[in-house]
Amino acid sequence: MMGHVSEQTRISTRIGSIAESATLAVDAKAKALKAQGRPVIGFGAGEPDFPTPDYVVQAAVEACSDPVNHRYSPAGGLPALKDAIVAKTRRDSGYAVEPANVLVTNGGKQAVYNTFAALLDPGDEVILPAPYWTTYPESIRLAGGTPVEVFVGADAASGQAYLVTVEELEAARTERTKALLFCSPSNPTGAVYPPEQVEAIGRWALEHGIWVITDEIYEHLLYDGAQAPSMPVLVPELADTCVVLNGVAKTYAMTGWRVGWMIGPTDVIKAATNLQSHATSNVANVSQRAAIAALEGSLDAVEEMKLAFDRRRRRMVEMLNAIDGVECPVPQGAFYAYPSVEGVLGKEIRGRTPRTSVELAALILEEVEVAVVPGEAFGPSGYLRLSYALGDEDLEEGVGRIQALLAEAR
């Protein structure tokens, strides 16, 4: 007879301490309710509602029939895809790198994990501007590091909602600071750092010998004339202590294809490739062939998506700001709105009094069947994240339901 093992000891502390991905959890719950026939509208997932471009799909179809793709390929990525990433990076960012600086990963998440695993030792601190993407702190902790949050809210005194300053970063720096995570355009807020602020942050990191991990996955989703230059282009001396993260998911509506990459110094890329060779080996060859077609093709697909996203962005912000107690800065990038709902918390709504954004999100889902992600997934309570990467009719209906519900707040 097997001895009793407590639940706490069955799972390692390292893995047991990881928080579930809140965005995927919200999306899964919304889809499950929808499958039951409930009229749920989900604003949870960061996933374009457009189909993958036809020429990308066709490249994958052809790849399926080619026996060479049925075999293992190099763990670090197909040479042809690395070449395409090098060319795309020069074309879109003006950043000159070599194939030896590139590792192809299973989506952007593996690029994040590989990077922190390659760079961090136990006790190293990573400055993490908040609100942040829910996966960043978990990857930092898995690598033995300590995330140090620097929060900037919707009503920043500087007028730059959700944008951290050099002064705020400096206040968080200690002798244990190893790296800074930088994301612009931002998930979850849609905030975009102006070029002069990107350069100032890069020069601050360079001065203090701090690594920068810069996530550029939303680089092409910009509005109102905003620009998102790559930090190592503005601060070339930073290239030796900088890792750039990117992928095809958001630009080409390829979230499920799972192709991302990291660009960095050759020693970091070599170490991360070694890790990946044991963890997953190569990214699926068919997906890699599809990614080559995407990167070598035009950016017409993303331009079409941007027109729709821009229209939805303006409408969503307008509708959210019409709600008493809600303040929603205008996002300049990505496809998220990140309203403050602090003015609603503590008020009674249909016999309940939500005091956190987790409680408010649960109330919204249960009462009007709309799924949103609470701010606790990205930092402090008091906020909601809504993706506007969904159809116009669903957006109008879903935010309209939230408007009607919150109008009852007393």
Closest CA to 182 of 213, 148, 219, 137: 213
Give residue 8's pLDDT: 59
Separation CA 398–CA 369 (nearest Å): 8
What are the domain boundaries of the chain?
7-51+301-406, 68-296
Q: Is-same-fold flag (7-51+301-406; 68-296)?
A: no
Beta strands in 131-239 (DSSP E): 146-151, 177-183, 211-215
Q: What does CATH list as the number for 7-51+301-406?
A: 3.90.1150.10
- pLDDT score recorded for residue 295: 98
- The predicted pLDDT at position 249 comes to 96
Looking at this protein, which amino acid is placed at residue 104?
A: V
Return d(Cα 373, Cα 27) in angstroms, integer: 9
> What does the alpha-carbon distance between residue 173 and residue 387 come to, in Å, rounded to a whole number?
32
26 touches 373 (CB < 8 A): yes
Helix (H, G, I), strand (E, B) or coil at 83: helix
Residue owning tokens 């136990």: 122
pLDDT at 34: 84
| Rounded Cα gap, residues 363 and 247, in angstroms | 35
CB 182 within 8 A of CB 215: yes
pTM of the model: 0.94
Q: pLDDT of the chain along its 410 residues, tens only?
A: 455 555 557 999 889 988 888 777 777 888 888 889 889 999 987 889 999 999 999 999 999 999 999 999 999 999 999 999 999 999 999 999 999 999 999 999 999 999 999 999 999 999 999 999 999 999 999 999 999 999 999 975 556 799 999 999 999 999 999 999 999 999 999 999 999 999 999 999 999 999 999 999 999 999 999 999 999 999 999 999 999 999 999 999 999 999 999 999 999 999 999 999 999 999 999 999 999 999 999 999 899 999 999 999 999 999 999 999 999 999 999 999 999 999 999 999 999 999 999 999 999 999 999 999 999 999 999 999 999 999 999 999 999 999 999 999 99
d(CA 263, CA 86): 9
Residue 377 tokens read as 């997934």
Return the number of other C-beta atoms located less than 10 Å from residue 261's C-beta: 28
Token pair for 207: 């001065």
Secondary element (H or E) of residue 133: none
Nearest-angstrom CA–CA distance, 35 and 226: 39
Q: What is the pLDDT of residue 179?
A: 98
- CB of 383 within 8 A of CB of 154? yes
Tell me the β-bridge partners of 181. 213
- β-strand 177-183 against 102-105: which pairing, if any? unpaired
Does the 68-296 domain belong in CATH 3.40.640.10? yes
**What's the token pair of residue 110?**
């593996």
DSSP state of 227: -
Helix residue ranges, H only, 239-325: 266-279, 285-296, 300-321
Residue 1 pLDDT: 47
